[in-house]
Amino acid sequence: MPQPIDMQTELGRTMAAERIQDASARAALLAQQRAQVEEEKVRVAQQTQVGQAEQTDNREVHEKEEQGGERERGQRRTPAPPPAEPDETRPRKALEPGTEHGFDVSV
pLDDT of res. 11: 96
- Side-chain half-sphere CA neighbours of 25 within 13 A: 6
CB 70 within 8 A of CB 76: yes
The pLDDT value recorded for residue 88 is 60
What does the pLDDT read at residue 43? 92
Residue 30 pLDDT: 97
Give the pLDDT of the chain (107 residues) as one tens digit per residue.
Answer: 678 889 999 999 999 999 999 999 999 999 999 999 999 999 999 888 776 566 666 666 667 666 665 455 656 667 777 666 655 666 667 667 667 666 676 76
